[in-house]
Chain A
Amino acid sequence: MPEFLLEVGTEELPALDAPVLAAALARTLEQGLKEARLPFQGTEIYWTPRRLAVLVRGLPERQEDLVEEVRGPAVVVGLDPDGNPTQAALGFLRKYGASPEDLVRKKVGEKEYLFLRVRTPGKPTGEILTELIPPAIRSLPCRKTMRWDSSGLSFLRPIRWLVCLLDGEVLPVRLGALEAGRTTRGHRFFGPGEVELASPGQYVEALRAARVVADPAERAEMIREAAARVEAEHGVKALWTEELLGIIVGSLEWPAPVLGEFPAEFLDLPAPVIAAVLHEEGKFVPFARDGEPAPVFLGFRDGKEDDRGHVRRGYERVVKARLRDARFFFENDLKRPLAERVPDLRGVVYEARLGTVWDKVQRIREICAHLSRHLWMDAAEREKLEKLLDRAAFLCKADLTTEMVKEFPELEGVMGGIYARRSGEPEEVARAIEEHLLPRTRSDELPKTVLGTALSLADKLDTVTGAIMIGEVPTGSRDPYGIRRAANALISLILRKPLVVDLFDVIDAVAEFYPRLPGGKGPGEVKAFLVERLRHILRDDHDIPHDVVEAVLAVPRGDFLGLLERARALASLRGDAALAEVAQLFERLRNITGDHEETSFDPQRFQQEEERELWRAYLRAEGHVRRALEGRDYVAALKALLPLGEPIHRYFERVFVMVEDEGIRRNRLSFLRALLSLFLEIGDLSKLTT
């Protein structure tokens, strides 16, 4: 069966973009083939910095023929009383080159029509592909596009060649100034230059012979194996990050390891600084021995082992120079205690309307002061922790003025912690500063200490509150202040830690510290934004069914953890018959109480036994529910509510609520409203779909 190869040859693509583009190219192609009725056995994706390729296996020679039923005139119009075609029917037949015996009668609704089965012969596969390719390439989702010639074509980097091979045949594809061929290119320095491909199937091996590993998974394996060899030989452990591996895989066509060393005298630099120097630009893999930095690093040269050590010497020279720079920054930074730098933050703009970083620090301190009331119940402990937390908040942004953080922005926070320790600040304070940017994303590592957690919460809450109060609410994909990410991290910190804190309460308490501007928003919008993020997180990260999420969020609360726990409780009982019944009755309760808000009632004025029965059940349930809520046992609370189903049911059967007598009516409504409020402690059960 025919095979097809598409290769888009480029100048070096950014390392992390190539995989995204290659996957998109395959997807677009697969989609196009399906729409063109060209089934295939499978696709294989290959890419390097200089090429995106898709190999399609098991294609048919041509499209399947398309058979469609076409509707012609109605039978009464198309056939005369003898059953012979009229002029109208003959015209219809001529249009499709068919004869009268091809006509079929079929009913559509009440009327009968003449139909033809029309067969459109399928086109050869090559013809379809030739049309498919140029738009597929043009539609690739580039992060940024550029022009390189006057053909009007734009892409992430210049496209320099194109291979379109269907079995042995070149398809006549044109793209911008390029014409497709069968010629690919090998490695820039260690390949034979141009490589002719006889057929798609030999792509991977032909490139391998030209010193290119086209399969990114294979390159990743070569890189990991090289690191594992160093680990085994030197008794060290590689310090990988996902991004580092991605960048190395994405910038090489043939990874060849080069092991380097740096002088041990630099080992007194903090480990994160050494890692930052080596990670810079995704170049070198750092190693640790017994948890401490080891004076070796692994780089990767493209194409060939470094037999004569030229490359190793070059790498070592660069690393040494950068470590020397880092030491220079470090020693300079240490000349001033961290606290002395804090006033300099008055000169660092955070956001024009939100003031300087100094102003942000003051707001973070206010938030911390309010948070501590939520986080620490024990008064004696609170006093001690409050002081430490305030100190950490005061210092947490001071490292922004250090040379090291200016040079390595990813060390923000980490350096603050190191410098705090060196300035003689308490260890708890240093740790809190070190941890206060964690988690950076929903899935990132969390702060370990209680102070770091509080500080992180305060910092993120300020970021979100500030941006929304000045009207910078993210829309669509636009989120210039990174508010969504900050809010996600904040919520994920609360849910994963987990933390009991009423965010709404804190937001109300600190709202006065933010500017009120025309076009700005209020605390209500901040809360609504956070609830909206919570909605996504409950669904995506905690697998809470959609209807359960809606049920608990219908009654917004600042205690996000409580909302998650309520949702879990509801989800665990979802499908339970008693719950389903209660959910239905809930709806009736709500409809009948309408906008009646009064909840105090007088049991003395109940007239019917069903009222008193429900009242007794309510009293029993209420006690259980309140106790369960206090203990944050939402399953128990929910279970305590379920026995109310039966008495409510009887009540609705026997008791007529909307009686003439206003006193009795209002008393009944107030009672039902109180009952409803008890249910609302869990959520709006009417949102449940089962």
Chain B
Amino acid sequence: MRSGERRVRTFQDLVLALHEYWRDRGCVIFEPYDVEKGAGTFNPATFFGCLGPDPWRVAYVEPSRRPTDGRYGENPIRLRLHHQYQVILKPPPPDIQDLYLGSLEHVGIDLREHDVKFSEDDWESPTLGAWGVGWQVWLDEMEITQFTYFQQMGGIDLDPVSVELTYGLERIALFLQGVESAFDLRWSEDVKYGELWHEKERQFSIYNFEKADVERIRRMFELAEAEARACLEAGLVFPAYDHTLRCSHLFNVLDARGAISVAERETYIARIRELARACAQRYLRLLEERRARVLA
């Protein structure tokens, strides 16, 4: 389909168009992973998918919860929960940038009528022990995508490396629909984004900033951490990772609640990173054992 022909009128059209584009380029269309997380990178399809030698292509939507970004539903673009569209390509093909730009055209952005820039941005997640090199992609100077060549995940050097494309769906939808507030976006032809999300933004902002019980959340963190460790000892890497994700989210809630001092912050992050590292190492061992069994 040539650019401009497609009519991506709604938020859900945008998701469907991206699904279609990446399905046709060999991606597994995965689902959001149902444990709270701050970014699509935390989805096991990315975290584990990037590890090990096997090729892997996946795409999915990820509702990403960042409690500190909440604005009680009063800011047009800062949201406690926004939607990322995440693509992983391992190994990345040499024409990866063109492939990515093709996806923008596919959803109806005429690149010859707008301004697209790849602007240096090196990405790092201290909690996942992950980092990469790449860009923020700017469309008419609005950030729409994080484009990263992952170099490390869970503290492990990646070979082959993966490319992660993280589209900010609300931003792109704002652009396509020509509105200024996320809450005014058409989710479908009949339903507005605000109808689905505004009250949730308000309530979660109140909860995260004012009401979350610090002592109980701290205890929940400890419990999730203990559970993750127990799972790791039992060799249950996926359940261990789920609990690691919980730790990460609970930490974010404590952070938004203003309950974490600067000194504590480093310690909390290090604790989560330790778990992520252990999960990554355990997972790689699992892959090796399986390979050994196949060969035997």
Residues of A within 8 A of B (CB): 11-15, 49, 144, 146-150, 157-158, 160, 188-190, 251, 258, 281, 283-284, 299, 301-302, 304, 306, 308, 310-311, 313-315, 317-318, 321, 325, 328, 347-349, 352
Q: Inside 8 A of B203's CB, which chain A residues have their CB?
A: none
- The answer on a CB contact under 8 Å between A321 and B180 is yes
18 extra A-B contacts, CB within 8 A, seeds A299-B141, A314-B139, A349-B262? A11-B118, A12-B119, A12-B120, A12-B135, A15-B120, A146-B151, A149-B160, A150-B91, A281-B138, A308-B113, A310-B113, A310-B114, A314-B175, A315-B140, A317-B180, A347-B262, A349-B263, A352-B263
- The answer on a CB contact under 8 Å between A160 and B112 is no
Q: Inside 8 A of A318's CB, which chain B residues have their CB?
A: 140-142
Instruction: Name the one of B141, B149, B175 contacting A148, with C-beta atoms under 8 angstroms.
Output: B149
**A314 CA to B109 CA in the complex, in Å?**
13
Q: Inside 8 A of A144's CB, which chain B residues have their CB?
A: 122, 133
* Chain A CB within 8 A of B227 CB: no
Interface pairs A-B: 3 shortest CB-CB: A314-B140, A14-B120, A12-B118
Q: Inside 8 A of B116's CB, which chain A residues have their CB?
A: 188-189, 302
Give the distance to chain A from B111, nearest Cβ to Cβ, in Å.
5
Give the distance to chain B from A47, nearest Cβ to Cβ, in Å.
15
User: Can you list 25 A-B contacts (CB < 8 A)?
Assistant: A12-B119, A12-B120, A49-B118, A147-B149, A147-B151, A147-B159, A147-B161, A148-B149, A149-B161, A150-B159, A189-B111, A284-B141, A299-B115, A308-B113, A311-B115, A313-B140, A314-B142, A315-B140, A315-B141, A317-B140, A317-B142, A317-B180, A347-B262, A349-B261, A349-B262
Known: A148-B92, A318-B142. A347 touches B261 (CB 8 A): yes
Instruction: Name the one of A14, A150, A251 contacting B117, with C-beta atoms under 8 angstroms.
Output: A251
**A310 CA to B91 CA in the complex, in Å?**
36
Give the distance to chain B from A637, nearest Cβ to Cβ, in Å.
52
**A84 CA to B237 CA in the complex, in Å?**
86
Give the residue name and chain of the A residue nearest to B122 (CB).
Answer: A144
Task: Give B151-176 interface residues, CB cut-off 8 Å to A.
Answer: 151, 159-161, 175
Q: In this complex, which of B133, B140, B149, B161 has the most chain A Cβ atoms within 10 angstroms of its Cβ?
A: B140
* Chain A CB within 8 A of B26 CB: no
* Chain A CB within 8 A of B97 CB: yes
Q: Inside 8 A of A299's CB, which chain B residues have their CB?
A: 115, 141
Instruction: Name the one of A13, A150, A160, A311 contacting B160, with C-beta atoms under 8 angstroms.
Output: A150
Known: A157-B133, A318-B140. A149 touches B91 (CB 8 A): yes
- The answer on a CB contact under 8 Å between A302 and B117 is yes
Give the distance to chain B from A474, nearest Cβ to Cβ, in Å.
23
* Chain A CB within 8 A of B4 CB: no
Give the residue name and chain of the A residue nearest to B74 (CB).
Answer: A328
- The answer on a CB contact under 8 Å between A281 and B119 is yes
Q: Inside 8 A of A328's CB, which chain B residues have their CB?
A: 75
Residues of B within 8 A of A (CB): 75-77, 91-92, 94, 97, 101, 111-120, 122, 132-133, 135, 138-142, 149, 151, 159-161, 175, 180, 261-263
- The answer on a CB contact under 8 Å between A314 and B141 is yes
Q: In this complex, which of A12, A188, A352 has the most chain B Cβ atoms within 10 angstroms of its Cβ?
A: A12
- The answer on a CB contact under 8 Å between B133 and A146 is yes
Give the distance to chain B from A318, nearest Cβ to Cβ, in Å.
5
**A313 CA to B114 CA in the complex, in Å?**
10
- The answer on a CB contact under 8 Å between A251 and B119 is yes
Give the distance to chain A from B237, nearest Cβ to Cβ, in Å.
26
**A283 CA to B139 CA in the complex, in Å?**
12
Give the residue name and chain of the B residue nearest to A50 (CB).
Answer: B118
Q: Inside 8 A of B75's CB, which chain A residues have their CB?
A: 325, 328
Q: Inside 8 A of A311's CB, which chain B residues have their CB?
A: 113-115, 140
**A299 CA to B133 CA in the complex, in Å?**
26
- The answer on a CB contact under 8 Å between B77 and A148 is no
Give the residue name and chain of the A residue nearest to B120 (CB).
Answer: A14
**A308 CA to B180 CA in the complex, in Å?**
20
- The answer on a CB contact under 8 Å between A148 and B112 is no
Q: Inside 8 A of A348's CB, which chain B residues have their CB?
A: 262
Give the distance to chain B from A355, nearest Cβ to Cβ, in Å.
11
Q: In this complex, which of A308, A317, A347, A352 has the most chain B Cβ atoms within 10 angstroms of its Cβ?
A: A317
Give the distance to chain B from A217, nearest Cβ to Cβ, in Å.
21
**A13 CA to B133 CA in the complex, in Å?**
11
Q: Inside 8 A of B94's CB, which chain A residues have their CB?
A: 149, 160
Q: In this complex, which of B132, B141, B151 has the most chain A Cβ atoms within 10 angstroms of its Cβ?
A: B141
Q: Inside 8 A of B76's CB, which chain A residues have their CB?
A: 321
Give the residue name and chain of the A residue nearest to B97 (CB).
Answer: A11
Give the distance to chain B from A384, nearest Cβ to Cβ, in Å.
37
Q: Inside 8 A of B159's CB, which chain A residues have their CB?
A: 147, 150
**A301 CA to B115 CA in the complex, in Å?**
6
Q: Inside 8 A of A150's CB, which chain B residues have their CB?
A: 91, 159-160
**A148 CA to B262 CA in the complex, in Å?**
36
Give the distance to chain A from B29, nearest Cβ to Cβ, in Å.
25
**A281 CA to B117 CA in the complex, in Å?**
12
Q: Inside 8 A of B92's CB, which chain A residues have their CB?
A: 148-149
**A348 CA to B76 CA in the complex, in Å?**
30
**A318 CA to B113 CA in the complex, in Å?**
17
- The answer on a CB contact under 8 Å between B262 and A189 is no
Give the distance to chain A from B182, nearest Cβ to Cβ, in Å.
11
- The answer on a CB contact under 8 Å between B117 and A148 is no
Q: In this complex, which of A15, A160, A310, A314 has the most chain B Cβ atoms within 10 angstroms of its Cβ?
A: A314
Instruction: Name the one of A13, A190, A349 contacting B112, with C-beta atoms under 8 angstroms.
Output: A190
Q: Inside 8 A of B140's CB, which chain A residues have their CB?
A: 310-311, 313-315, 317-318
- The answer on a CB contact under 8 Å between B112 and A302 is no
Give the distance to chain B from A181, nearest Cβ to Cβ, in Å.
14
Give the residue name and chain of the A residue nearest to B94 (CB).
Answer: A160
Give the distance to chain B from A382, nearest Cβ to Cβ, in Å.
37
Give the residue name and chain of the A residue nearest to B113 (CB).
Answer: A310
Give the residue name and chain of the B residue nearest to A320 (CB).
Answer: B180
Give the residue name and chain of the A residue nearest to B158 (CB).
Answer: A147
Q: Inside 8 A of B175's CB, which chain A residues have their CB?
A: 314
Give the distance to chain B from A490, nearest Cβ to Cβ, in Å.
26
Q: Inside 8 A of B139's CB, which chain A residues have their CB?
A: 314
Q: Inside 8 A of B149's CB, which chain A residues have their CB?
A: 146-148, 158
**A157 CA to B132 CA in the complex, in Å?**
11
Q: Inside 8 A of B133's CB, which chain A residues have their CB?
A: 144, 146, 157
**A301 CA to B94 CA in the complex, in Å?**
26
Give the residue name and chain of the B residue nearest to A147 (CB).
Answer: B161
**A352 CA to B120 CA in the complex, in Å?**
31
- The answer on a CB contact under 8 Å between A321 and B97 is no
Give the residue name and chain of the A residue nearest to B261 (CB).
Answer: A347
**A188 CA to B120 CA in the complex, in Å?**
17
Give the distance to chain B from A302, nearest Cβ to Cβ, in Å.
6
Give the distance to chain A from B88, nearest Cβ to Cβ, in Å.
15
Known: A160-B94, A190-B112. A283 touches B262 (CB 8 A): no
**A313 CA to B175 CA in the complex, in Å?**
11
Give the residue name and chain of the B residue nearest to A13 (CB).
Answer: B120
**A301 CA to B113 CA in the complex, in Å?**
10
Q: Inside 8 A of A347's CB, which chain B residues have their CB?
A: 261-262
- The answer on a CB contact under 8 Å between B113 and A302 is no
Q: Inside 8 A of A149's CB, which chain B residues have their CB?
A: 91-92, 94, 160-161
- The answer on a CB contact under 8 Å between B151 and A189 is no
**A188 CA to B139 CA in the complex, in Å?**
14
Give the residue name and chain of the A residue nearest to B151 (CB).
Answer: A146
Q: In this complex, which of B113, B114, B138 has the most chain A Cβ atoms within 10 angstroms of its Cβ?
A: B113
Q: Inside 8 A of B112's CB, which chain A residues have their CB?
A: 189-190, 304
**A284 CA to B132 CA in the complex, in Å?**
27
